[in-house]
A and B are shown apart, each in its own frame.
Chain A
Amino acid sequence: MKCPRCVQRIHRAAASCPHCGFSILDADARFGGEEVRLRCLTDSAGILRRGERRRVEAAMERVSRRFPQVFVAVYTGALGEVANLRQFGFWLLNRSAFEDVPVEKPNEAGILLTIDPESKAAGMVFGYLLDPFLDESDTFECLSRAHAYWLEGRYADGITRALSHLEGILAKRSRHARRDPEHFQRKIMPAAMMGDLVRRIRAGHRNSPVGDEVMEVAE
């Protein structure tokens, strides 16, 4: 887990970045603290033609169909000089209300792809549901697949390509999670529990009633 502003690693339950102090409040101060109503595909930059919109919507729909818990949103817009894409994505996922997403799919299950055609940059963020299953390198791989298309201004092709790759990654992670859920659970285990685990291991090594005592305390 990294901070959207300083891209430094932060611990699992940090209320603000221990390195730069960033939190949602900083993003609110920059982009606004009120809820934003959006559709899943919002082409504010106007880079998609009608046919291309259909193709992109179909790709988004396919992801939602194959992964019933998940939805994909795409936002295109010129952010200007005041914003940067990583912070904006973080803010938008937390402050937007997607009108065309079923109620049973909260933003925690969202994957947001943001494209700024003016600064020629794109970013991808995801909600807490996918926190154990995706990481930065996965999203980087998806964006890399789209890079060549976006260079040529073929935004729709790039988006569908990125989503197609994302499907593959999600399918693989889902299968892995079905086989070995603990592997992913460990990734989001609270720091306190990790401390307990360490203590339990050390207690086991001592092989004494002290260990049992520690376990009781932990429980």
Chain B
Amino acid sequence: MTAMRTILFLCLLGATARASFVEPGLPSWDDGELDVLEKAGWVAGGSLLTDEPLPETPEAKTEEPIDVAQPTADEIAETEIDANKIPEEFWPEYFEARPKSFLVDPQRLLGPVDQRDRLGFLNYHAGDSSIDLYVYVFKGDQEIPGELREEEIVERFFSEGRPAVVVYYFMGAPQRSMVYLSPSLTDAVSPAEQRRAVESSVMQAFKDVDPAKQIEAFLVQMSIRIYWMERMLGGGVEEEAAPVAAQAKVSAEKASRVGKYQPMIDVAKRFAVPSAAVAGVLLAMLAASAWLRSRGRYRFPDFEVEPRLGGAHGAGVGAVISFASAALPPASQRDQVPDYLRRA
């Protein structure tokens, strides 16, 4: 029985092994099936199994050009001018009155920190110099409206009051800067000197690529040049110019440093009043306490003391001090000596 089972198992195993060595036959295409697939529009792997060229994709229909009139050359030019034009909403702040601040930047082209620092510097300059420095800030590619004449604006607004130097500064393009002097200065400061002032300021500005740093350098140098102008007005001598300029530069840097501490100064200003109030209250309390103490009454316990040396009222012999000579200070008199050793 067992032998029969074994034989049967071996027969099955052999049949299975034989079947595994036989390869499956390739599929055969029926023409009808192929037609059906081709009618459907796509045969999987068809492009690989044929020698025919790839079917071309259907061409998109080309759109016909719309018949619109092309812009004229004048229109293109006007568009460019509009892009560079200062928005009219800012004109009043720029051009309609003498500015109340030394820094005129209604477009907020400077960041808040830079704006505060530059204004701090200009205020410092105004306090240090008899010639004010006003700065109008524009974008680098902006154009001052053609209908306005810068010289006329300066003449109109700066003919009164302290003499001033007005700078039209273009952010990122310091070479476009324009400098105008108030009427009281135009006669005293030669055009050559004005030109030199602008050139040296532009050179200083170009030492940096950051527009904010450029305007800072420009204004510092312009402040120094204004100091020179001031010296010229006052009849100062040329040979002192160099050290004075150096000194002025130091002053300008100092002003710049002041700007760094502006936040702390602002905080101090904000808390100045409450702090002063608290200090005042504390002082008042201290004063009241001192006043109460000064008005306080002090008593001593009354002890029975036996009389000494026959004295009915007192024998509390205290110290004696000599002030005959400054060479005999109190410290040297602390040890009181018997009277019979001092005097007869």
- B 171-189 to A, binary, CB cutoff 8 A, 1 in contact else 0: 0000000000000000000
Contact between B317 and A86 (Cβ–Cβ < 8 Å)? yes
Known: A4-B339, A5-B340, A128-B305. A24 touches B311 (CB 8 A): yes
Known: A17-B309, A23-B309, A170-B298. A134 touches B316 (CB 8 A): yes
- Is A90's beta carbon under 8 Å from chain B? yes
Can you report 19 A-B residue pairs in the complex whose CB atoms are below 8 A from each other?
A3-B317, A4-B315, A5-B339, A6-B339, A10-B309, A15-B310, A67-B299, A68-B299, A89-B317, A89-B320, A107-B313, A107-B314, A122-B323, A128-B307, A128-B313, A128-B315, A140-B318, A140-B333, A177-B301
Contact between A173 and B319 (Cβ–Cβ < 8 Å)? no
B38 to chain A, nearest CB (A): 122
* Bound-state Cα–Cα, A46 to B311, Å: 29
Footprint of A on B, CB under 8 Å?
294, 296-324, 326, 329-331, 333-334, 336-340, 342-344
Q: Which residues of B contact A138 (CB under 8 A)?
A: 318
- Is A185's beta carbon under 8 Å from chain B? yes
Contact between B309 and A121 (Cβ–Cβ < 8 Å)? no
* Bound-state Cα–Cα, A140 to B319, Å: 5
Known: A85-B320, A147-B330. A10 touches B300 (CB 8 A): no
A154 to chain B, nearest CB (A): 11
* Bound-state Cα–Cα, A128 to B330, Å: 26
Footprint of B on A, CB under 8 Å?
1-8, 10, 12-17, 20, 22-25, 65-70, 81, 84-87, 89-90, 93-94, 106-108, 110, 119-134, 136-140, 143-144, 147, 150-151, 170-171, 173-175, 177-178, 181, 184-185, 188, 190
A91 to chain B, nearest CB (A): 9
Q: Which residues of A contact B339 (CB under 8 A)?
A: 4-7, 84, 86-87
* Bound-state Cα–Cα, A84 to B298, Å: 33
B200 to chain A, nearest CB (A): 64
Q: Which residues of B contact A123 (CB under 8 A)?
A: 318-321
Q: Closest B residue to A14 by CB, please name it.
A: B308
Q: Closest A residue to B314 by CB, please name it.
A: A127
With A6-B338, A66-B297 given, name 16 new contacts (CB 8 A): A1-B317, A7-B339, A12-B308, A13-B308, A25-B310, A81-B343, A93-B314, A120-B323, A123-B319, A123-B321, A126-B314, A128-B315, A140-B318, A143-B320, A174-B300, A185-B301
Q: Closest A residue to B311 by CB, please name it.
A: A94
* Bound-state Cα–Cα, A102 to B171, Å: 90
Residue from the list A1, A7, A67, A139 in contact with B308, Cβ < 8 A: A1
* Bound-state Cα–Cα, A23 to B307, Å: 11
Residue from the list A8, A10, A69, A139 in contact with B299, Cβ < 8 A: A69
